Chain A
Amino acid sequence: MKECEDIQDRLEAYISNDIDDSERIEIQTHLDECQSCSGVLRQLTRLSEVLQTWKGIEPSPGMYETLKARLTETESSPSAWSRVFAHNFAKKAVFWPAEVAAVVLLTLFIRDLLQKPAPKVPDDLTTIDFYVQEHQEVTVQTVSEETSKQPTAQMFVSRDDVFYYEFVEKFPKFTEQGLIISGPPKREKIHSTKGLAISKGHMLPTPLPWDVVDFDPVVPPRLQHGFVLDSIRKIADYNSLHLLYTKGTDTLSLFEQLSQGKGGLAVQDFREYATYGPAEFDTGSKEQGRVTILAWTNGPLSFVLIGKQDMSRLMDIMQSISRTKTQDEKGGLYWNKGDEHRYGAKRGRFNVGI
Chain B
Amino acid sequence: MLSYRAGDDDAFEILYRRYEKPLLNFLYRVVKNVAEAENLCQETFFRMVRAKKKYVATAQFKTWLYHIAYNLCRDRLRRKTHRSTQSLNALTLSRDEGGVELQERIADPSSDPDRDVEKDELIASVKNAIAHLPETEHLVVILREYQGLEVSEIADILNCPVGTVKSHNHRARKKLKIMLAKYIGD
User: Is residue A56 within 8 Å, beta carbon to beta carbon, of the partner chain?
Assistant: yes
Number of A-B contacts (CB under 8 A): 142
- Tell me whether A56 and B42 are in contact in the complex, defined as CB-CB below 8 angstroms, given that A51-B176, A287-B164 are known contacts: no
Answer yes or no: A36 CB below 8 A from chain B CBs: no
| Any B CB within 8 A of the CB of A206 | no
- Minimum CB–CB distance for B78 against chain A, Å: 8
Residues of B within 8 A of A58 (CB): 21, 103, 106-107
The B-contacting residues of A in range 48-74, CB under 8 angstroms, are 48, 50-60, 63-64, 66-67, 70-71, 74
A87 within 8 Å of B (CB atoms): no
Given A138-B75, A311-B159, the answer on whether A64 and B184 have CB atoms closer than 8 Å is no
Q: Are A126 and B56 in contact (CB under 8 A)?
A: yes
Q: A57-B101, A122-B58, A130-B54 are in contact. Are A9 and B170 (CB under 8 A)?
A: yes
CB-contacts of B44-93 with A (<8 A): 45-47, 49, 51, 54-56, 58-59, 67-68, 71-72, 74-75, 79
Q: A54-B127, A63-B20 are in contact. Are A310 and B184 (CB under 8 A)?
A: no
Is A137 an interface position by the 8 A CB rule? yes
Q: In chain B, what residue has the closest Cβ to A57?
A: B103
- With an 8 A cutoff between CB atoms, is A312 at the interface? yes
A50 to B176, CA, bound (A): 10
Is B10 part of the binding interface, using a Cβ–Cβ cutoff of 8 Å?
Answer: no
Check A312–B159 contact: CB distance below 8 A.
yes
**A residues near B56, Cβ cutoff 8 Å:** 122-123, 126
The chain B residue with its CB closest to the CB of A71 is B49
In the bound assembly, the distance between CA atoms of A74 and B71 in angstroms comes to 21
- Choose from A48, A63, A70, A142 the contact partner of B38 (Cβ within 8 Å): A63
Please judge, given known A-B contacts A64-B20, A287-B161, whether A18 and B103 are in contact too, CB under 8 Å: no
B103 (CB) vs chain A CBs: closest residue = A57
The CA of A74 and the CA of B49, in the complex, are separated in Å by 11
Tell me whether B24 and A54 are in contact (CB under 8 A): no
A residues 6-32 in Cβ contact with B at 8 Å: 9, 12-13, 16, 18
A310 x B159 contact (CB < 8 A): yes
Interface bits A104-144 vs B (CB < 8 Å: 1, else 0): 00000000000000000011011101100110011001100
Decide: A54 and B126 in contact? CB cutoff 8 A.
yes
Task: Give complex CA distance A67, B101 in Å.
Answer: 24
Determine if A271 is an interface residue (Cβ-Cβ < 8 Å).
no
Is B11 part of the binding interface, using a Cβ–Cβ cutoff of 8 Å? Answer: no
Please tell me if the beta carbons of A56 and B20 are within 8 angstroms of each other in the complex.
no
For A, the interface residue count at a CB cutoff of 8 angstroms equals 49
- Within 8 Å by CB of B54, from A39, A46, A129, A310, lies A129
State whether A57 touches B24 (Cβ < 8 A). Answer: yes
Among B38, B41, B141, B180, the residue within 8 A (CB) of A50 is B180
Contacts known (A50-B180, A57-B25, A130-B51); A44 close to B173, Cβ less than 8 A: yes
Contacts of B184 in A (CB 8 A): 43, 46-47, 50
Closest to A142 in B: B79
Q: How far is the CB of B25 from chain A (nearest CB, A)?
A: 4
Choose one: B25, B42, B177; the contact of A67 (CB below 8 Å).
B42
Residues from chain B with a CB closer than 8 A to the CB of A133 are 47, 51, 54
Beyond A59-B21, A60-B38, A70-B46, whether A53 also contacts B122 by CB under 8 A is: yes
A43 touches B177 (CB 8 A): yes
Complex alpha-carbon distance, A231 and B146, angstroms: 47
Alpha-carbon gap, A9 to B163, bound state (A): 11
Which B residues fall within an 8 A CB radius of A? 13, 16-17, 20-21, 24-25, 28-29, 34, 37-38, 41-42, 45-47, 49, 51, 54-56, 58-59, 67-68, 71-72, 74-75, 79, 101, 103-104, 106-108, 119, 122-123, 126-127, 130, 141, 144-146, 150-151, 159-161, 163-164, 166-167, 169-170, 173, 176-177, 180, 183-186
Closest 7 A/B residue pairs (Cβ): A287-B163, A56-B25, A122-B56, A134-B71, A57-B103, A46-B184, A54-B126
10 examples of A-B residue contacts, CB within 8 angstroms: A18-B151, A50-B184, A51-B130, A53-B122, A64-B16, A67-B45, A122-B58, A311-B159, A312-B71, A312-B159
Q: Name A's B-contacting residues (CB within 8 A).
A: 9, 12-13, 16, 18, 39, 43-44, 46-48, 50-60, 63-64, 66-67, 70-71, 74, 122-123, 125-127, 129-130, 133-134, 137-138, 141-142, 286-288, 290, 310-312
* Additional 17 contacts, C-beta under 8 A, given A46-B184, A57-B34: A9-B166, A39-B186, A43-B177, A44-B173, A47-B180, A47-B184, A54-B126, A55-B108, A56-B107, A58-B107, A59-B41, A67-B46, A70-B42, A70-B46, A71-B46, A133-B51, A287-B161
